Amino acid sequence: MAIRNLSEFVEQSRQKDVSAEVFELESSHLLEVKLNGRVWAKSGSMVAYRGGVKFTRQGMLEQGLGNLLKKAVSGEGTQMMKMEGNGRVYIADAGKKITLLRLGGEAIFVNGNDVLAYEDGIQADIKMMRKVSGMVSGGLFNMRLAGSGVVAITSHYEPLTLAVTPDQPVFTDPNATVAWSGNLSPDIVTDISLGTLFGRGSGETVQLKFAGQGWVVVQPYEEIYFQSGQNGGGGGGLLGALTS
């Protein structure tokens, strides 16, 4: 790698404005939010800011009673924060790749851990998968994002979008599944022979089955999450009784 003098480094790495959009990628791993009002972001994702910005963790009442109940039962859920005011905020999530999607009245589902930020015009609702408690090491919940505005999602490395058709369902590893189209509702399926073949734990036999017409986004990485039940918390049986 070439050695740069200090002025070259500062010039090449400095913040640049190339768009008037609220969300602008400074790099594939760092998002600038031009704040003039309110934006929702993953709690703890702020790496720098300037201007008059107030950060507030998402309140219990703002989550809605249904979302609050799901979080209480499962111990799962991405904590969001409000960013309010006027200024520039720079956010990131463990160096993951950031993808910006503009919704024009559509809805998408995103793995809860992969939601980085969304504009105030987007409605977010927590959804949980059926009969999955204790079967996978994470990814038990997802968020339905709908409305008009831009959302920022993350993935490890470059994501891949697979088409789902009525005659060609798609099966995915829950820990590698990032997002899917709003009209799809995945089923949980198991394959004992798969776990036997690869000699891995029982969690590896769990798959998501996407059937119908739409698409699903996967990443080339199995992201392991930690359930509250694994460290002495709640979760468990009640989760399996909940439906999305």
Can you spell out the DSSP letters for 21-80? Answer: SSEEEEETTEEEEEEEEEEEEETT-EEEEEEEEEEEEPPHHHH-HHHHHHHHHH---PPE
How many Cα atoms occupy the beta-carbon half-sphere of 182 within 13 Å? 13
Question: Does 88 fall in a domain?
Answer: yes
Instruction: Tell me, yes or no, whether 188 lies in a domain.
Output: yes
State percent of the chain over pLDDT 70: 73
Name the pLDDT band for 62 (thresholds 50, 70, 90): low
Query: 81 lies in a domain?
Result: yes
Residue 229: inside a domain:
no
CB 151 within 8 A of CB 118: yes
Is the pLDDT score of 92 beyond 50?
yes
Domain membership flag for residue 207: yes
Looking at the predicted structure, is the pLDDT value of residue 19 above 70? yes
CA dihedral 73, 79, 85, 87 (to 10 degrees): -170
**Domain assignment of residue 12, yes or no:** no
Contacts of 192-197 spanning 24+ positions with Cβ under 8 A: none
pLDDT tens track for 187-241: 988 876 655 555 445 445 788 999 999 999 999 998 875 444 333 333 333 233 2
pLDDT for 202 equals 45
In terms of residue numbers, what domain contains 80? 20-223
How many domains does the chain divide into? 1
Domain CATH for 165: 3.60.160.10
Rg of the chain over all Cα atoms, to the nearest angstrom: 19
Rounded distance between C-alpha atoms, residue 54 and residue 45, angstroms: 14
CA-to-CA distance for 181 and 170, rounded, in angstroms?
13
Identify the top-confidence range among 65-74, 107-116, 187-196. 107-116
In a domain, 228, yes or no: no
What is residue 237's DSSP assignment?
H
List, for residues 135-179, the tens digit of each pLDDT value.
Answer: 444 446 889 999 999 999 999 999 999 999 999 999 999 889 999
